[in-house]
Structure 1
Amino acid sequence: MVGELRVLTALDVAKTQWYHFTAIVIAGMGFFTDAYDLFCISLVTKLLGRLYYTEPGAPKPGTLPPRVQASVTGVALCGTLAGQLFFGWLGDKLGRKRVYGLTLVLMVVCSLASGLSFGSTPKGVLATLCFFRFWLGFGIGGDYPLSATIMSEYANKKTRGAFIAAVFAMQGFGILAGGVVALIVSYAYDQKYNLPTYEQNPEASIVPSFDYVWRIILMFGAIPAALTYYWRMKMPETARYTALVAKNAKQAASDMSKVLQVELEAEEEKVQKLTQEKSHRYGLFSKEFLRRHGLHLVGTTTTWFLLDIAFYSQNLFQKDIFSAIGWIPPAQTMNAIHEVYKISRAQTLIALCSTVPGYWFTVFLIDYMGRFAIQLMGFFFMTVFMFALAIPYDHWTKKANRIGFVVIYSLTFFFANFGPNSTTFVVPAEIFPARLRSTCHGISAAAGKAGAIVGAFGFLYAAQSKDPKKTDAGYPTGIGIKNSLIVLGVINFFGMLFTLLVPESKGKSLEELSGENDRSADADAEPEVSATTSRV
């Protein structure tokens, strides 16, 4: 039985050691880069509009047309979805480590290329930017299933949730770093030029060298990824893949002996016998897979899909929400670079006060509260706070109440991260068989990115003014944002319902959860975990 393989038992009962923290940093830096690259674009879209779409003599500075803005912000998400499916499948076919470095190289190259986007016309520059950001997203997509799977297969069962969540929590630091880099760059340029506002002098409120600002911000994402490459290549393949998928007991024992600093015996006969058993040879979407894990996969995909509609809508368009309620001043009262500074400051405050703490609350409490309780609680409070913002929306737009709006809006970020944004990443890395784990995590994550695409494109269009007589027609406005917040509240409520399909994985070994240590080799044996019993 799998449970009797000493190399896996040693991993399950190992005390927290230095290699655990090393693995968290190595895998986590990928997520740091992922978040930086995905969300830093929202900091510079207004600057892109000013640079490339400002018409001479216009009463307001230019903004990206809705279709262009949706493309610039959403194309990386499309690439991420494709990368999650492709690299998730490849990670089960070739091994986690062999694919891991490739995703990082793709991220480094495309981060640099995004900042070097070229073209003789504004459309040409933005088309090139979209091309490179698609492939940047493709590399980012590979990091999701591979990082989650590697960390779950390295961790012990007592603190596995905290370790996987800690990898994902680096995303919060990536979002924060994006804001800080944009603050530093924009502040330096603002101090150097000290330009008038658009109202005072439209032509003098921007200079050609501001084109470097968005390029520097985008290219900075290549640095942390490049610094991590060497250490990723030194990581050994996970013992669970080597033993259960590659069927190499000797290599698994050798690798883990070095990692755990103990002597482990190669159990080749057990591995060969195990991998030949009928009950452990069923394929993805086979009748046996659907019986054992069908509802689990439905639960992980739907909850991640619903969560990311809300999460990415909030992150990518919070500048529009803050502008609509007046927390960020009107564009014409600032010069181009000062607007970047104001947007960066607002998003950095949100990240520092709510996003980052939410991630680490999950890290510290997930192995005590359990995944199910945290996810259900997060969806519940996100629902409550969305409705609390949307229903009395006119109340929040008054100047005296804006701080209250920002506080409640920040709480939705806190409970997204101390809630489903973390747990939807953790659970798919735990409950599926080793030979299908990366693939199933990739499918679940891709469903999330489908939700992110719906959020990125849907929010922008749902929040628009539809009145062609208004000067802001086609751009986010108050009534549109109010309706969008109501829709997001409803989506979070459905997230609560679909959470009931997700099993609790706290305190169990990966083989218990996946059914790979069933006491019977009979294919009709009941799996160890079911959606209805695992939470009892």
Structure 2
Amino acid sequence: MILERLEALPTGRFHYKLLLVTGLGWLFDSMDTGLIAFILPVLAKEWQLSTGQMGMIGSIGLIGMALGAIIAGTIADRIGRKKVFTITVLMYSIASGLCAFSWDYASLLAFRFLVGFGLGGELPVAATLVSEYAPAKIRGRFIVLLESFWAIGWIAAACIAYFLIPLYGWRMAFFIGALPAFYVFLIRMHMPESVRYLLSKGYITEARQIITDLEKQLHVPVKPFDDETEVLLKDASVSFSALWKKPFISRTIMLWLVWFGIVYSYYGIFMWLPSLVYQQGFTVVKTFEYVLIITLAQLPGYYCAAWLVDYIGRKYTLSLFLLCSGIASYFFGHAGTAGMIMIWGAIMSFFNLGAWGVIYTYTPELYPTSIRALGSGWAAGFGRIGGMMAPVLVGVMLSRGFDIGTVFYMFAFVLVAVSAIVMGLGIESKQKNLESIS
């Protein structure tokens, strides 16, 4: 049987190549998202932007991401993961380059919306593709490692901001953000279509050919396939209503709420982080330096989560990291010195991004193949509503006289609340075959 042979494949060069190819897409996405956060303080000074306008620049990309996640997730269950991944990477690359030619606030908003659409479409589709290829014993670790490329992208954005923006201006940063367009050729050469997707559409010959090719690559003895009928993965209809039927309804509610909370807190905090640190009285260069240090803490957070997710499980790792991120957010908001800002910022960054790695692992595992990208896309899309709201809300709160402590008290409450929701509604999917999770 095709799926039995897929699961029996040893972890080898193919899996790591797939991780690298999809991870690079994740890195470029993150770099673009990070760049706008670092550009905002410079842009606000040059264009005399209000805090409300700054918040809108952060939020407009999230509006695009919400629509991109929903539409791309739906289409990926119909035309394939690889095609949608390629299209969305190309779209956000071109749109990022167009941002460099923005002539005013309105034009930048339009281009950032298109960037967000591409970004939002790529992420859940990439996670779905990797989860459908990684064997059950390493799937959790692989998805968290995939998400760890996000931290590398933010570090790249911080380095671009630190070394290039002071010398060449903010437009150069957007030009660099357009480079991933060339990466599309790597995707087309080195990324196969999902075997599980092919089976869900009845493309048995194509699925068998991929398995045979992989067995040859991984030096596994290749045996002819029997003429017996393969089990097609059509256990749920490809429709939005399928997400709200048993046993998926409780999973959908849990995932939507957790996605909302984690995206709300992340974009509310990190989109404003350089600006908030800058408002504490530090220079632009010193601000970028502090934020770079805080961002570096994301990498060990991912690696810790990658180990725990297959050791204590998805549910408990996610709940723990969300809780600790909430606690750190509270203390970061009340930090009074540069040292405390960096310490609590690093702890907050460690746990918040580790939680991101787990949620991308957890989400596709809770749906069958026929609605996996659809379910992942809608969960991520609903979460982006939180991402739209948070940057604008922070701008409004600051403009109305609320201090940073109050802002971060709000984020702490949200993170602790979604941690409790995971514990209450989550199920464990650790090291189970995707077809056996119930």
Match of 1:308 among 263, 281, 284: 263
The match for 1:371 is 314
Matches within 5 A, 1:319-330: 319-326=274-281, 328-329=282-283
Structure 1 residue 288: Cα displacement: 8.8
Q: Distance in 2 between matches of 1:81 and 1:135?
A: 11
Q: Distance in 1 between matches of 2:111 and 2:227?
A: 46
- Structure 1 counterpart SS, 2:429: coil
- Contact 1:306–1:451 (CA under 8 A) maintained in structure 2: yes
Give me the TM-score of the superposition, normalised by structure 1: 0.77
- Structure 1 counterpart SS, 2:311: helix
- Contact 2:236–2:370 (CA under 8 A) maintained in structure 1: no
Q: Distance in 1 between matches of 2:395 and 2:44?
A: 15
Match of 1:406 among 333, 337, 342: 342
Match of 1:482 among 405, 423, 426: 405
Structure 1 residue 231: Cα displacement: 2.1
> Which runs of no fewer than 5 residues in structure 2 stay unpaired?
none
Match of 2:249 among 294, 305, 320: 294
The match for 2:430 is 506
Matches within 5 A, 1:51-130: 51-53=46-48, 64-118=49-103, 125-130=104-109
Structure 1 residue 73: Cα displacement: 1.6
Q: Distance in 1 between matches of 2:236 and 2:317?
A: 33
Aligned length: 432
AA aligned to 1:373 is: Y
Matches within 5 A, 1:20-59: 20-53=15-48
| RCO comparison, higher one (Cα < 8 Å, 6+) | 2
Q: Distance in 2 between matches of 1:281 and 1:373?
A: 28
- Contact 1:462–1:481 (CA under 8 A) maintained in structure 2: no
Deviations for 1:46-84, whole angstroms, at most 9, x for unmatched residues? 22222222xxxxxxxxxx112321222221111111100
- Structure 2 counterpart SS, 1:237: coil
The match for 1:426 is 361
- Structure 1 counterpart SS, 2:399: coil
Structure with greater helix share of residues? 2
Structure 1 residue 85: Cα displacement: 0.4
Structure 1 residue 266: Cα displacement: 4.5
- Percent sequence identity is 22
> Which runs of no fewer than 5 residues in structure 1 stay unpaired?
1-5, 54-63, 119-124, 190-211, 330-338, 467-478, 514-528, 530-536
What stretches of structure 1 move > 6 A for 4+ residues in a row?
A: none
Match of 2:122 among 143, 151, 159: 143
Q: Distance in 2 between matches of 1:275 and 1:366?
A: 26
- Contact 2:332–2:340 (CA under 8 A) maintained in structure 1: no
The match for 1:457 is 392
AA aligned to 2:24 is: M
Q: Which structure has the greater CA radius of gyration?
A: 1
Structure 1 residue 448: Cα displacement: 1.9
Match of 2:210 among 255, 263, 266: 255
- Contact 2:66–2:120 (CA under 8 A) maintained in structure 1: yes
Match of 2:295 among 321, 346, 351: 351
Q: 1:248 to 1:385 in 2, by over 3 A?
A: same
AA aligned to 2:428 is: E
RMSD: 2.0
AA aligned to 1:65 is: S
Q: Distance in 1 between matches of 2:243 and 2:383?
A: 25
- Contact 2:321–2:352 (CA under 8 A) maintained in structure 1: yes
- Structure 2 counterpart SS, 1:16: coil
